[in-house]
Amino acid sequence: MPRETQFILSGAEFSYPGSSGKVLSGIDLEIRAGEWVALLGSNGSGKTTLLKILSALLVPTQGSSFISGSSQDDAACGRKAPCAMVFQNPEDQIVASTLEEEVAFGPENLGCPAEEIRRRVTHSLEACGLSGMEKQLVSSLSGGQKQRLALAGALAMQPAAILLDEALSMLDPQSRRAFTEIIASEHAKGRTIVQVTHRIEEIRLAERMLLLKDGKIEFDMPREDFFRMRSEDLAAFGLELPPFEKLCEILRIRGLLPESCAADIGAVETYIYDAFGK
Amino acid sequence: MTLSVNDLSYTYNRGLPTECCALHDVSFELSGGCVLSVLGHTGSGKSTLAQHLNALITAQSGSVAADGIDPAGGADARRSVRRRVGLVFQYPEQQIFADSVAEEISFAPKNWGADEEEIKRNVAWAAQAVSLPPELFPLHPHSLSGGQKRKTAIASVISAKPSYIVLDEPTAGLDCVSAREFEELISGFAGKGIGIVHITHDIELALRVSTSILILEDGRGVFYGTPGECAEFLCSVPVKGLVLPEVLELSKRLRSRGVIDTLEWTPEGLAGRLEEKWQMRTR
Amino acid sequence: MANAYKIALGQFIPADTPVHSLDPRAKIIMVMAVIILLFVTHTAAAFTLWFLLLMYVARLSKIPAGVLFSSTKPVLILIIFTSCLHIFSVPGEKLFSVFGISATKEGFILAFLISFRLALIVMYASLLTLTTSPSRISDGLEGLMSPFSRIGLPSHDIAMMITIALRFIPTLFEETSRIIKAQESRGADFESGGPVKRAMAYIPVLVPLFVIIFRRADNLAVAMEARGYRGGSCRTRLNPLRWRKCDSMAVILLGVLSALIIFGERLLVR
């Protein structure tokens, strides 16, 4: 079944007012509903700007952008945002002082009736593992919990797409894992995910990778192809293979691991045990 | 000459309903030229420990001593501890305030009363140590890139020529290339005889750069020893908030199945070990 | 760091009590009324009654008395200053003298009464912010100001500005203490020297503080826009303001108590 289009950019360019240099140029991109897309690139490659164009926070200075409305029409309540964004620093995106008020902020702006807001608040907090904390103060949360709260605030807007702007970079490994699990389950429900990052560890679940360099999309490829890229090629984008993938690469080069073996601990363990152990 | 911490405990909001124990009987010792990594989950007391080392927080019980000086001895003692122990905060925005990079780097030596010649020498030395080119000196620090800002922050601490530096999550939020550069920086400082306390939640990084590792869990020191011992410890005891890195996990599984006989935590190390085994088998 | 947060002065403490659940409009009206009435009463007896009322409401709302008392800290200097002024300037029975200026018994009495009143004002105001979240205060203010929006008062914008300002107070404290620590750790001296020298040491703290606060305000503005904030029009509320019977009861009860206090005082003075 062909999926609906979520975003289309054609010939999009962007430069910040007052500066001559183009942050983005010649961007042609189509993202379909339900895709999980990762935007990768080093600092200053234009990936955050591209994300802001997708969220309609910025408008391309040249070319056109199309952002579709809500993907499915829910008859019960049509008040949905096309997309919602989670930013890098949890401290900078929190508006209210208690958890429920914070999550309610989005639906309030969309004009939902009070019972609907209440339902969404309960539901979003539950999805983000914060249920029962409605009345608590935001300042009593840890960094990881605050970031999940920011995600709950985004989910409450029932967006067709969730945009993540390095949303994991300030979290410790455990919070990162918890956050990724929520994202994965939202993706399974059919939401589009667009994720900006410079760490490959964070995008193991993404389906499609866009590699940006100097404001251009250099590569647009499915996950399988991406994880076959060599570390030298990735270095050009300021990227480094995570240690485990690096290990697999070394083993493949030295002929100790076949190309066919997936870069997965269990698979590698079994292969090596079978080849070496006996 | 050592930086030592003995049975240090600290509780926030003592006596209030929000009371919370941040450190409980933590001890370690660090000599010049060594790297001590402090590993722990968010809220394990890492940052509280860092602030004790620099005398920003005074010990409630137990003691801290930098080259034998205990900051509990009053304002003068605190200042001489700060002189010996430099603290680099997690986010450079928290500590950068001057109008130019040069001014920022010269802030500390000025405070310690160095003369003009010495300040110049120290600034040049510090900038060179973090490979910050002199062209950047007149620029406003906030116009720099993330990596350069962090270098400025570090240069502005080492320009006072401290004997020890405390780095609070120096690689958080940096891209891989800049993070790699910092790793080299850390070993470079140790090579110059500076003692380094490196606070992190990155187990792989800690195993790579440290001479010793301290693991904190809810304010308690649950492990203190060498990287090798630390890898063993992590493989046998689960620690709150720390996830075993994949390479170490694979290494642990292969060892328990008898394929290799030592734990390895770097990709190169494990690959090398496996290659050795393979050659032994095929021979 | 994560769970070791401090309670900033006068910051909302969530709880499920009758005081917390009152309509914020009722609470704002009542606190404003009490503050005005504090200026109508003049005797220690009346102030004691106001104080007892405050303590009773604090108990109802489960706010520890200590938190309420410590909320007067920011005005302590003001209290000491005005007290000194009164002790030495009010004519009357001389008790002792400093540098030829005499302190009087009447001065002491007046200083005590005025300090008492000032402390009560601050504590009543804190009681409002301690039991009402910033968003509720802002909703309440917006509700109270809404009659004026017909004559062009941007009541929603004002209320939202107040909410954001209240939200930034703890941030401001956190950032300030972080910057002070960062500079102190590099040998900046905040401890020694006279008051002027010490005040001067804080100037380098302000520069990064403004940079950081402005940047964060910028980020917050983007985050609010990303969540669909377009100003007051067609915004709905999670907890719409609802004036219930108990709100009217509370206001009436306060009216009766106030009338009793004022009437009683008049009788006493006569």
Asked if C25 and C140 touch (Cβ cutoff 8 Å), the reply is: yes
Chain-chain contact of B271 with A256 (C-beta, under 8 angstroms):
yes
What separation in angstroms does the CA of B91 have from each of A19, A105, B63, B198, C242? 28, 29, 27, 14, 45
Q: What is the model's pTM?
A: 0.83
Whole domain around residue C187: which residue ranges? 134-232
Q: In what helix (H) or strand (E) does residue C214 lie, and over which residues does it extend?
A: helix C203-226
Residue pLDDT, tens place only, C138-196: 889 888 988 888 888 888 888 888 888 877 877 888 888 888 888 888 888 777 777 78
**CA C45, CA C208: separation in Å to the nearest integer?**
49
Query: Residues A183-186: contacts with CB within 8 Å, 24+ apart?
Result: A183/A151, A185/A127, A186/A127, A186/A155, A186/A162
Q: Which of left, alpha, beta for A214 (phi over 0: left; psi -120 to 50: alpha)?
A: left
pLDDT of residue C3: 33
Which residue on chain A is closest to C222 by alpha carbon? Answer: A57
Query: Is residue A138's pLDDT more than 60?
Result: yes
> For residue A147, how many other CB atoms are within 10 A of its CB?
27
Q: Provide the residue ranges of all domains of chain B, joining segments of one domain with +.
A: 32-54+74-239, 245-283
Residue pLDDT, tens place only, A64-76: 888 875 433 443 3
Asked if B215 and B27 touch (Cβ cutoff 8 Å), the reply is: no
Asked if B139 and B101 touch (Cβ cutoff 8 Å), the reply is: yes
Q: Is the ipTM of this complex over 0.85?
A: no
Q: Residue C64, SS3?
A: coil
Chain-chain contact of A87 with C235 (C-beta, under 8 angstroms):
no
Query: Is residue A78's pLDDT more than 70?
Result: no
Q: Which of left, alpha, beta for C131 (phi over 0: left; psi -120 to 50: alpha)?
A: alpha
C6 touches chain A (CB under 8 A): no
Same domain, C127 and C190: no
Q: Which of A111, A154, A157 sits opposite C236 (nearest CB)?
A: A111
C268 lies in some domain: no
> For residue C196, how many other CB atoms are within 10 A of its CB?
8
Residues of A in contact with C5 (CB under 8 A): 139-140
Rounded mean pLDDT of A154-168? Answer: 92
What burial letters (b/e) apply to B140-157, b meaning 16+ CB within 10 Å? ebeebeebbbbbbbbbbb
pLDDT of residue C175: 84
Which residue on chain A is closest to C5 by alpha carbon? Answer: A140
> For residue C183, how many other CB atoms are within 10 A of its CB?
23
Same domain, C111 and C52: yes
Same domain, C161 and C87: no
C269 lies in some domain: no
Tokens of C88: 């030495």
What separation in angstroms does the CA of B153 have from each of B91, B95, C170? 9, 7, 25
Residue pLDDT, tens place only, B69-94: 998 888 889 889 999 999 998 888 77
Q: Lowest-pLDDT range, A209-213, B94-98, B216-220, C61-65?
A: B94-98
Q: Lowest-pLDDT range, A67-71, B110-114, B249-253, C95-99?
A: A67-71
Same domain, C93 and C45: yes
Same domain, C1 and C93: yes
| Confidence band of C270 (pLDDT split at 50, 70, 90) | low
Chain-chain contact of A101 with C224 (C-beta, under 8 angstroms):
no
Tokens of A240: 């480094």
C251 lies in some domain: yes
Q: Taking all residues of chain C, what is their mean pLDDT, rounded to a whole number? A: 85
Tokens of B78: 């605190």
**CA C212, CA C168: separation in Å to the nearest integer?**
12
Chain-chain contact of B257 with A265 (C-beta, under 8 angstroms):
no
| Confidence band of B16 (pLDDT split at 50, 70, 90) | low
Which CATH number is B32-54+74-239's, of 1.10.3720.10, 3.30.200.190, 3.40.50.300, 3.20.20.140? Answer: 3.40.50.300
Asked if B214 and B198 touch (Cβ cutoff 8 Å), the reply is: no
Same domain, C6 and C124: yes
DSSP class of residue A158?
Answer: -
pLDDT of residue B279: 87
pLDDT of residue C169: 78
Burial of A224 (0-12, 13-18, 19+ CB in 10 A): exposed
Residue of A59, A77, A95 to mutate, interface with C, max C Cβ within 10 Å: A95
Residue pLDDT, tens place only, C93-119: 887 887 878 888 888 999 999 999 999
Same domain, C161 and C180: yes
Chain-chain contact of C237 with A93 (C-beta, under 8 angstroms):
no
Size of interface A-B (CB pairs under 8 A): 96
Say how many domains are in chain C: 2
C186 touches chain A (CB under 8 A): no
DSSP letters spanning chain B: -EEEEEEEEEEETTTSTT-EEEEEEEEEEEETT-EEEEEE-TTSSHHHHHHHHTTSS--SEEEEEETTB-GGG-HHHHHHHHHHEEEE-SSGGGT--SSSHHHHHHHHHHHTT--HHHHHHHHHHHHHHTT--GGGTTS-GGGS-HHHHHHHHHHHHHTT--SEEEEESTTTT--HHHHHHHHHHHHHHHHTT-EEEEEES-HHHHHHH-SEEEEEETTEEEEEE-HHHHHHHHHHS--TT----HHHHHHHHHHHTTS-SS---SHHHHHHHHHHHHHHHH-
Residues of A in contact with C228 (CB under 8 A): 81, 106, 109-110, 157
Chain-chain contact of A250 with B278 (C-beta, under 8 angstroms):
no
Residues of B in contact with C15 (CB under 8 A): none
Query: Residues A148-151: contacts with CB within 8 Å, 24+ apart?
Result: A148/A175, A148/A178, A148/A179, A148/A182, A149/A90, A149/A94, A149/A99, A149/A102, A149/A103, A150/A86, A150/A87, A150/A90, A150/A93, A150/A94, A151/A86, A151/A179, A151/A182, A151/A183
Same domain, C10 and C100: yes
Same domain, C140 and C128: no
**CA A219, CA A199: separation in Å to the nearest integer?**
17
